[in-house]
Structure 1
Amino acid sequence: MKRYCLTLDLIDDAQLIEQYKQYHQSVWPEIKQSIKASGIEDLEIYLLGNRLFMIMDVNENFSFEKKAATDLANAKVQEWEALMWKFQQALPNSKPGEKWQIMDQIFKLNT
């Protein structure tokens, strides 16, 4: 199993951050199904201030390219992504339209 760690910022507004947290307390079932169907075995999101940190454990069938293509064809995923983008903001070094950025691992205790 492979693990990816990604980061993204939320708009630095306490009310928006609270709304974002509430949405993630009851993620739409279609979104959870899409995540699982893509080969993501487990996914966690952490928040500190307005910085998000996501950990994804994926199986051998997962690829970012396949997930992106499948998401583009799924109207419910597109609706969710448009809604979430109201709360999110790209990191300063992001390319246009880029949201989550993959982080590089720089240390692991048990290798």
Structure 2
Amino acid sequence: MKTKRYCYACDLKDDSKLIAEYKAYHDEGKAWPEITKSIKDAGIVDMQIYLTGNRMFMIMEVDDTFDPKKKAEMDANNAKVQEWENLMWNYQQELPWAENGEKWIPLERIFKL
């Protein structure tokens, strides 16, 4: 199976207590099962989030069924995903160059070895 990689960035509110709570929601096995199911159902075969300070980077490996627009539509129509996203907004904040309401901003690859 050939995969494609997508990389995104998002900021957390710069508050150590909130960052600790956010990390706890994402500890292994702690994310809601409906969320991990929605991720897998969209064709995402691996997802990792890295944190430095309050800036996060998400790396997704997807199969050939993945479509970002279809994923956004699936999420918009999934009440549990919307509940999760609303909860996460308590911890996340838009990057300064984000469109209104945009959380995860696609990263531009500028180098590859």
TM-score (norm 1): 0.97
Give the drift of 1:56.
Answer: 0.4
Equivalence for 1:51: 55
Equivalence for 2:92: 88
Give 5+ residue unaligned stretches, structure 2.
none
Give the drift of 1:34.
Answer: 0.2
TM-score (norm 2): 0.95
The 3-state SS of whatever aligns with 1:86 is: coil
Name the CA distance, whole Å, in 1 between partners of 2:76 and 2:110: 32
Give the drift of 1:76.
Answer: 0.5
Q: Does 1:22 find its partner at 2:10?
A: no
**Letter of the 2:96 counterpart:** P
Superposed structure 1 runs of 4+ greater than 6 Å apart: none
Residue from 106, 109, 113 that aligns with 1:102: 106
Give the drift of 1:108.
Answer: 1.2
CA RMSD of aligned residues (A): 0.5
Q: Count residues with an aligned counterpart.
A: 109
Equivalence for 1:34: 38
Give 5+ residue unaligned stretches, structure 1.
none
Q: In the TM superposition, what whole-angstrom CA distance separates every residue of 1:28-53 from its partner, at most 9, and x where no partner exists?
A: 00000000000001000000000000
The 3-state SS of whatever aligns with 1:56 is: strand
Q: Percent identity?
A: 58
